[in-house]
């Protein structure tokens, strides 16, 4: 199982990332979906959303098998809503990340001829602050204080983040860096590309940056 997990994780065709800024958390991802095993990759979708707003103050990025990702999101969004109705309290980002970790752990260990590979980045704001968590395909939950990137293009994206990230970045700087890192990955990773989605989560809530804004900031240097 461990060797199969490593094999399929390396084939995850995407670039997703999260950045912690002074007053916000930024999530970003490319929009390409690919198919293929050991042979050449086939681009099966060019406008697929990989960043999702799950409530007013939280969002996630997704990677892995599309069917597993969609299934887990539906179940977890339902569980979060039920918890909120029962307790009259909004779930914290840590609670949400742990729920994603538990469901991912259970999903990959189900007996199946197709391994249930899925990975998530969870970003959000609650009464305790701004948070960024990585959910590894084996179900591990890891908190990041600065940035994290996942998928086949993450090696390239990490190079940009390592070079340009600085503590206390403004939201605008974070958005620009996210676009720059994903764009760099799409230039070298054939499984990533076809556009970029960016979501900002701050005290105003979670919101997607419009395409016009992406065009504007992508031409500026950081």
Return the minimum-mean-pLDDT range out of 34-38, 90-94, 99-103. Answer: 34-38
Question: pTM here?
Answer: 0.84
Of 12, 14, 96, 149, the active-site residue reads 14
* Residue 220 placed within a domain: no
Is residue 14 part of the annotated active site? The answer reads: yes
Task: State the sign of the Cα–Cα–Cα–Cα dihedral 176, 178, 180, 186.
Answer: negative
C-beta of residue 79 within 8 angstroms of C-beta of residue 91: no
Whether 216 maps to a domain, the answer reads no
List, in sequence order, every residue forming a beta bridge with 17; answer none if it has no partner. Answer: 28, 149
Residues contacting residue 156 through CB under 8 Å, at least 6 positions apart:
15, 184, 185, 187, 188, 189
Of the candidates 183, 185, 192, 189, the one whose C-alpha atom is nearest the C-alpha of residue 218 is 183
Does residue 131 belong to any structural domain of this protein? Answer: yes
Q: Give tens-digit pLDDT for 24-42.
A: 999 999 988 776 655 566 6
Rounded average pLDDT over 99-105: 91
For residue 222, tell me if it sits in a domain: no
Q: Is residue 219 part of a domain?
A: no
Write out the residue range of the structural domain in which residue 37 sits: 2-207
Q: Kindly state the tokens that stand for 192.
A: 């990533």
56-73 residues labelled b (16+ CB within 10 A) or e (exposed):
ebbbbbbbbbbebbeebb
Q: Nearest to residue 153, comparing CAs of 46, 45, 17?
A: 17
In a domain, 221, yes or no: no
The total domain count for the chain is 1
């Amino acid at each position: 199982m461990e060797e199969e997990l490593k094999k399929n994780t390396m084939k995850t065709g995407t670039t997703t990332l999260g950045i912690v800024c002074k007053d916000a958390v930024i999530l970003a991802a490319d929009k390409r979906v690919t198919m293929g095993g050991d042979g050449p990759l086939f681009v099966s979708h060019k406008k697929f959303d990989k960043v999702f707003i799950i409530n007013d103050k939280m969002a996630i990025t997704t990677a892995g098998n599309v069917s597993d990702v969609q299934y887990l999101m539906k179940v977890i969004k339902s569980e979060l809503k039920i918890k909120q109705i029962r307790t009259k309290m909004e779930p914290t980002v840590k609670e949400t990340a742990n729920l994603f970790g538990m469901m991912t752990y259970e999903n990959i260990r189900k007996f199946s001829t197709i391994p249930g590979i899925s990975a998530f980045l969870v970003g959000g704001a609650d009464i305790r602050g701004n948070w960024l968590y990585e959910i590894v395909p084996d179900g591990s939950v890891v908190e990041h204080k600065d940035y994290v990137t996942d998928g086949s293009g993450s090696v390239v994206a990490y190079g940009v983040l390592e070079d340009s990230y600085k503590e206390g970045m403004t939201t605008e700087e974070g958005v620009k860096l996210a676009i720059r890192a994903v764009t760099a990955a799409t230039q070298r990773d054939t499984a990533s590309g076809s556009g970029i989605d960016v979501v900002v989560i701050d005290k105003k809530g979670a919101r997607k940056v419009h395409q016009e804004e992406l065009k504007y900031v992508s031409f500026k240097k950081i």
